[in-house]
């Protein structure tokens, strides 16, 4: 099997597996217990919290561990909105957000919050010009995904944060796709809250983290919760968290090398598609790749629905996707793809190819052969 869907999930790396197995055997105590076994687990948890803070340029006190990116998004947004003054009932999010944010939006609207969804400009950017007309006196929070999971398009949060700060508006960003892949610093970016996930960086599933800058007002979604300083209920998954941190440390150590490899793979793939006249069009302009995650290639395959292309690839042993795995099975246009100006027909033709640490040129050649066969099949059917 050739796996080219790393934006959906990654296999656990050896560093994470070793850490997970060791802690489950040797440091399995409850981190809230007062005996030595609990103390050992609490020490690991404290170290892990500090490491995540270091990786994002934040403070240890602002890191809260969760079950993953979706829960981080849902808890951090609700907690911030709960903590804002009553007149700050307006929340803004970009149209490029992850499926989990759209689900949360529907819930919050039922609870009386007013939502505005901001469309990007023609290049897929959320800019001051696209955002400013939607800000009100009642706006309390803006959510802008750091990089889109379908296209890899990276937003310039540092350009947005000053205009929000001047208006007393908080900024949250879903950084699930960027964490561990590109450098980030919450202070330089100007964000007040961040969401990250373990299984995107070769850690275990079911683990993630939320960051709330110390001093940011928030009130817990679940009152009287004792774990994670009241942010989230449930016994803390210390082995999973330590494995997450071990994987993230590996990713950060080799980040530059990974990005260089991904850039080479991306350019090779695009060159092969052009050379063999395969009718794929990138979802974001190729001349803007300096602000795109190199390992995510989102594109439209003219003449075929994305699900058909994905199934044909799967039949021949290659795993790609038609976008965010959290929306898989919902056969309707993805809002993030529509926001880039694609028609309903085009959005259904969308496929996503994403590379990982072990992806090779040979694997991409197999994919290109499959896509070329589909293109030739299409040509033959037209000629007949």
214 phi/psi in degrees, rounded to 5: -50, 135
The answer to whether the CB of 191 falls within 8 A of the CB of 201 is no
Confirm whether 326 is a catalytic residue: yes
Q: Which residues of 40-56 are buried (b: 16+ CB within 10 A; e: fewer)?
A: bbbebbeebbebbbebb
Name the catalytic one among 299, 313, 319, 326. 326
351: left (phi over 0), alpha (psi -120 to 50) or beta: beta
- DSSP assignment letter at 11: P
The answer to whether the CB of 14 falls within 8 A of the CB of 357 is no
Distance CA 323, CA 352 (A): 6
- DSSP assignment letter at 154: B
Distance CA 64, CA 76 (A): 10
Distance CA 200, CA 211 (A): 17
Residues 6+ apart with CB under 8 A from 361: 265, 268
Distance CA 300, CA 304 (A): 9
Which residue, among 91, 80, 147, has the nearest Cα to 120 in the 3D structure?
Answer: 147
Positions annotated as catalytic residues are 326
């Amino acid at each position: 099997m050739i796996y080219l869907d790393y934006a959906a999930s990654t296999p656990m790396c050896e560093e994470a597996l070793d850490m997970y197995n060791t802690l489950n055997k040797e440091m399995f105590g409850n981190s809230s217990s007062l005996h030595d076994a609990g103390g050992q687990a609490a020490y690991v948890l404290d170290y892990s919290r500090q490491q995540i803070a270091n990786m994002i340029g934040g403070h240890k006190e602002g890191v809260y561990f969760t079950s993953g990116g979706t829960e981080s998004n849902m808890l951090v947004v609700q907690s911030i909105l709960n903590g804002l003054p009553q007149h700050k009932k307006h929340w803004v999010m970009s149209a490029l957000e992850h499926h989990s944010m759209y689900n949360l939006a529907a819930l919050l609207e039922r609870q009386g919050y007013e939502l505005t969804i901001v469309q990007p400009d023609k290049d897929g950017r959320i800019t001051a010009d696209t955002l400013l007309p939607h800000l009100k006196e009642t706006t309390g929070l803006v959510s802008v995904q750091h990089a889109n999971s379908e296209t890899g398009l990276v937003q310039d949060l540092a350009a947005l944060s000053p205009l929000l700060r001047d208006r007393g508006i908080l900024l949250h960003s879903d950084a699930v796709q960027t964490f561990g892949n590109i450098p980030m610093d919450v202070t330089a970016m100007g964000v007040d809250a961040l969401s990250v996930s373990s299984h995107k960086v070769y850690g275990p599933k079911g683990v993630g983290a939320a960051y709330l800058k110390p001093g940011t007002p928030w009130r817990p979604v679940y009152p009287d919760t004792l774990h994670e300083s009241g942010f989230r209920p449930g016994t803390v998954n210390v082995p999973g968290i330590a494995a997450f941190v071990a994987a993230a440390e590996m990713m950060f150590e080799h980040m530059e090398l990974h990005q260089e490899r991904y850039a080479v793979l991306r350019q090779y793939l695009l060159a092969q598609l052009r050379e063999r006249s395969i009718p794929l069009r990138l979802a974001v302009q190729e001349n803007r790749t300096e602000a795109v995650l190199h390992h995510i290639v989102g594109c439209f395959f003219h003449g075929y629905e994305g699900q058909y292309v994905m199934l044909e690839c799967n039949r021949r042993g290659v795993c790609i996707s038609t976008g965010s795995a959290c929306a898989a099975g919902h056969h309707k246009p993805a809002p993030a793809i529509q926001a880039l100006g694609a028609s309903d027909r085009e959005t259904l033709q969308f496929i996503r190819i994403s590379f990982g640490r072990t992806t090779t040129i040979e694997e991409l050649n197999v994919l290109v052969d499959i896509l070329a066969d589909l293109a030739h099949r299409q040509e033959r059917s037209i000629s007949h």
